[in-house]
Structure 1
Amino acid sequence: MTRMRDVLKWLMATMLMALSLGAWAEESSAYVLGAGDQIRVTVYQNADLLVETRIPEGGVISFPLLGSVQIGGLTVADAEKKIATGLKSGNFLKNPQVAILVISVKANQVSVLGQVNRPGRYPLEAGNSRLSEVLALAGGIMAGVGSDIVVVSGVRNGDPFRMEVDFPKVFASQGTEEDMQLQNGDTIWVDRAPQVYVYGEVQRPGAQVLVRDTTVLQALATAGGLTLRGTERGIKVHRRDASGQVKIISPGMNDKLQPSDIIYIKESLF
């Protein structure tokens, strides 16, 4: 019985590894080659056709038997197919099997800016171009400083592109946000996390990061609670509406706060 369980565990681990490798291979094949990329081209059972080179400006490489081959702007899969077709149509090989490995990425990069631990430019490695993967390269969003909303901008199909991603929802159990695929030239912007301000009769007045779904009561607790002179009666919140006008409201303790709310706790008269 124990041996059967061990066999089942091994089969499950093997299946998961195969699925993972399959997904990685699919994404690697979709990588678009460009100037500066270092590649290795191999042809199965033809060691003399091994080529390791850096793609120059213009995207044309020199390949044995074929001469100049334009691969810049092609995906890895399309470049492999183009070289294989050339070898077959030229009657050099009957059924060539061509594989291209991207050793170093220089052509495809994205910029990560704002409240991350290591802002800068990062390569879109073959099989490693999801939003979460690039943010991980940048050290992740700064805890307690960066916003949950990540803005990705760039160009798609020749038109300007902008998308706001509620990043925690990428990993939520419901999976309501897609871990989007990035493209060359994209910019990732992480703004400062929204804040609220508490002043008046509280222990620690000042600004605090507005955690998702924070209530008035939770904000007061974060501020250390009321002073001996403070009162929960007559709490006021100054809130700016969409038109820019500031309105004063009297919230309940369990009402949720909005970014830039200012909470005022007055002094008890008795």
Structure 2
Amino acid sequence: MKRWAKWMVAAMLGMMATLAWAGDVLLGGGDLIKVSVYGSPDLGLETRVAEDGSITFPLVGNVKVGGLPVSAAEQKLAGLLESGGFLRKAQVNIVVTALQSQQVSVLGQVNRPGRYPLDTRRTVLDMLAQAGGIGAEGSDVVVLIRKQGDKPTKQNIDILGMMQSGNVAPDVTVESNDIIFVERAPRFYVYGEVQRPGTFRLERSMTVLQALAAGGGLTQRGTERHIRIKRRDADGKLQVIDAKQDDLLKADDVVYISESWF
């Protein structure tokens, strides 16, 4: 099969999956929907689902659609029109024009934090893209918080690892009321005899030598022979470590460059 033909097939499958998902969206309070009935334009209306999940529909009155997929709500309205003797073989179509009940929160170090509607099947990467991507201060690992029954669950998703490996299996599909949180990236500190002492982003597998480079290198009085790392252990106790250039840094390490006496 030619490449363009494969692309067409993939696009059609993706469109079919999106349409299928649209029919499976659960309606809820606050959703704005547009209802039309084939052959009966006078029965069409645009309305908002009440907080109790109900709508008022012509001829049949109050109808509970909250908690139903769009396709099931269509069938329910059609069935009520038929059972009430108003129409034969009623065909009802519902379009969700504003989805308020199914939303995902994207918070923390993203460019546009907020709540975003889950109007189609979306993954963590999709939601991060909607939020403008991870900000300059954001971590490479994001947290997905999901409520399972009464107990929240927490899952760490390595965004950079997915990009480097090409394995997108950890890019899970999000669900309504999920929270995606991007923490601030880990930091380390450099002070002493360096050109630019300060706080810097800790990259993966970063060495002491790379930390010196981030600090602009040594001053004329600095020496690489007496580098120390101040690090807190698991119990919070401060340790002072004699460091080598190829030692790996950890989050919140403080790298001190001593003055040369020779």
**Band of TM-score, shorter chain:** 0.7 to 0.9
The answer to whether the 8 Å contact 2:123/2:172 transfers is yes
Q: Which structure has more strand as a fraction of its residues?
A: 2
- The answer to whether the Cα contact below 8 Å between 1:115 and 1:192 also exists between their aligned partners in 2 is yes
Instruction: Trace 1:151-230 onto structure 2 (pairs within 5 A).
Output: 151-172=143-164, 173-184=166-177, 186-230=178-222
Which SS does the other structure have where 2:77 is aligned?
A: helix
The aligned residue for residue 139 of structure 1 is: 132
SS of the residue 2:225 aligns to: coil
Cα displacement string for residues 190-245 of structure 1 (whole angstroms, at most 9, x for unaligned residues): 22211101112211111101122212121111111122222222321111111111
**Is 1:250–2:238 an aligned residue pair?**
no
- The unaligned stretches of length 5 or more in structure 2 are none
Q: What is the distance in 1 between the residues matched to 2:73 and 2:139?
A: 40
Deviation at 1:142, TM superposition (A): 1.3
Cα offset for 1:46? 4.9
- The Cα offsets for residues 139-189 of structure 1, whole Å up to 9 and x where unpaired, read as 22211x1122222334222322333322333444022522341323x3333
Question: Paired residues, what number?
Answer: 261
Bigger Cα displacement from structure 2, 41-50 vs 101-110:
41-50
Partner in structure 2 of residue 31 of structure 1: 25
Offset at residue 92 of structure 1 (A): 5.7
TM-score normalised by structure 1 residue count: 0.83
2:103 matched to which residue of 1? 109
How far the C-alpha of 1:74 sits from its partner, in A, is 1.7
Q: 1:51 to 1:213 in 2, by over 3 A?
A: same
Q: 1:111 to 1:84 in 2, by over 3 A?
A: same
Query: Take 1:226 and 1:134, find their aligned partners in 2: how far apart are those partners?
Result: 43
Provide the rounded CA distance (Å) in 2 between the counterparts of 1:265 and 1:220: 9
Q: 1:82 — aligned with what?
A: 76
1:247 is aligned with what amino acid?
Q
Contact 2:145–2:155 at 8 Å: present in 1 too? yes
Give the aligned residue type for 2:50: P
> Which structure 2 residues correspond to residues 231-250 of structure 1 after superposition, within 5 A?
231-250=223-242
Instruction: State the alpha-carbon separation in 2 of the partners of residues 206 and 188 from structure 1.
Output: 30
Query: For the structure 1 residues 256 and 43, does the alpha-carbon distance in structure 2 shift closer, same or farther, using more than 3 Å as the test?
Result: farther
- Percent identity, aligned pairs only, is 45
Q: Distance in 2 between matches of 1:99 and 1:158?
A: 35
Q: CA deviation at 1:102?
A: 0.8
Compared CA separation, residues 269 and 200, structure 1 to 2 (3 A) = same
CA distance in 1, matches of 2:230, 2:194: 17
2:255 counterpart letter in structure 1 = I
- Aligned letter for 2:17? A
State the distance in 2 between where 1:252 and 1:26 align: 58
Give the gaps of 5 or more residues in structure 1. none
Deviation of 1:265 after TM superposition, in Å, equals 1.5
What is the deviation of 1:257? 1.2
Distance 1:135 1:191 in 2: 13
| Paired amino acid for 1:135 | L
Instruction: Report if the CA contact (8 A) 2:118-2:176 is conserved.
Output: no
CA RMSD of aligned residues (A): 2.6
C-alpha distance 96-213 of structure 1, shift in aligned 2 (>3 A):
farther
Secondary structure of the structure 2 residue equivalent to 1:135: helix
- Following superposition, the deviation at residue 98 of structure 1 comes to 3.7
